[in-house]
Structure 1
């Protein structure tokens, strides 16, 4: 099981993604973006899944990371 974190341009996009993941049965939670990822005060969604669940991520996402302990690997930046 992998741990993922998605950052967003808007709080609404984070909320939509959170709801979409929950509907798919994925364990997910919303939280402030960790300082190791960004110094902004945005909202992120963290979730655990076998794959990145890209279809559940709102179009207003900023970036997708795979988290391994204290390390954050950038997987994708969104336009």
Structure 2
């Protein structure tokens, strides 16, 4: 199981993504963005899953990371 973190340009996009993930049966939580990662709105969604669930992520997302301990691997930057 992978630990993912998505950052967003707006709080609303984070809320929509959280709602979409939960509706898809993925355990997710909203939290402040860790200091090692920067974000426009300061809110992120973290979730554990086998795959990205990219279709659940709002169109106003900023970036998607895979977390491994203290390391954050950038998987995708959204436009």
Bin of the TM-score, shorter chain as denominator length: over 0.9
Alignment pair present for 1:10 and 2:6: no
Alignment pair present for 1:54 and 2:51: no
In the alignment, structure 2 segments of 5+ residues that lack a partner are: none
CA displacement at 1:38 relative to structure 2? 1.5
CA displacement at 1:51 relative to structure 2? 0.3
In the alignment, structure 1 segments of 5+ residues that lack a partner are: none
Q: Tell me which residue corresponds to 1:25.
A: 25
Determine the C-alpha separation between the residues in 2 that align with 1:11 and 1:58.
11
Determine the C-alpha separation between the residues in 2 that align with 1:39 and 1:54.
18
Q: TM-score w.r.t. structure 2 length?
A: 0.96
Determine the C-alpha separation between the residues in 1 that align with 2:10 and 2:51.
24
**Number of residues of Structure 1 aligned to a counterpart in Structure 2:** 79
Determine the C-alpha separation between the residues in 2 that align with 1:19 and 1:39.
20
After the TM superposition, list the runs of 4 or more consecutive aligned residues in structure 1 that deviate by more than 6 angstroms.
none
